Structure 1
């Protein structure tokens, strides 16, 4: 007999990896205006995004096993650019584009999908692909 897998209700946190936490903190905290929850030296900085947490890690620091007196979070990390998509209305995407333009961040793409949902793509200073999309992108 097999056990049924419970239905997952959402994503609690998402992680991106950067080499320069100061630059990442300026982009996510100042340019995008995300509330910073905490920072631990050159290891990580965390931001609140609605009910979700965006974790920004320095992969060189997260590859090390935890100290004996630390929480038992296993080593992790990634190399190369990642991707995260923020949920935003069409009007919010327009406002975000204006903020990014004013801050000198290039827009890679701004378009409507076949179902009519709008997506805006840019890169953070570490090269991660950052998307802002209308939730109807994934509506069934």
Structure 2
């Protein structure tokens, strides 16, 4: 087997409208068309996609409340982590800076899915 690249990650969300606002308006990801019939929204990030799939409930699997980066998360590269932090705070999003000291922070979508934003 030879895996050549990653295609997408799927995240469960309980409120598609609220999640669409977070990923589309706050994070600024471009939405792409999808042919599937079940409720969801797809976003493009370079050659990679994020698939939001509507679910009645979204179980929390957070195992470390103190260090968000030690939980399951998806990571995005940003041009300026300070600008990303300012944007998130302006929208009332929770943040936690990376404990490693690198230019990175963590936030959560409306369902508690962890998101890493790393400068690079």
Report the TM-score, using the length of structure 1 for normalisation.
0.66
Instruction: Report the secondary structure of 2:98's partner residue.
Output: strand
CA deviation profile, 1:73-117 (whole Å, cap 9, x unmatched): xxxxx733552111224xx2111111101111121x21363xx64
Consecutive unaligned residues in structure 1, runs of 5 or more: 61-77, 136-140
Consecutive unaligned residues in structure 2, runs of 5 or more: 62-71
Q: Answer with 1 or 2: which has the greater Rg.
A: 1
Listed as ranges, the matches of 1:1-140 within 5 Å are: 5-6=1-2, 8-38=3-33, 43-60=39-56, 79-80=59-60, 83-89=73-79, 92-107=80-95, 109-111=96-98, 113=100, 117-134=102-119
Relative contact order: is structure 1 or structure 2 higher (C-alpha 8 Å, sep ≥ 6)? Answer: 2
Report the TM-score, using the length of structure 2 for normalisation.
0.76
- Number of equivalenced pairs: 109
Instruction: Report the secondary structure of 2:97's partner residue.
Output: strand
Q: CA RMSD in A?
A: 2.5
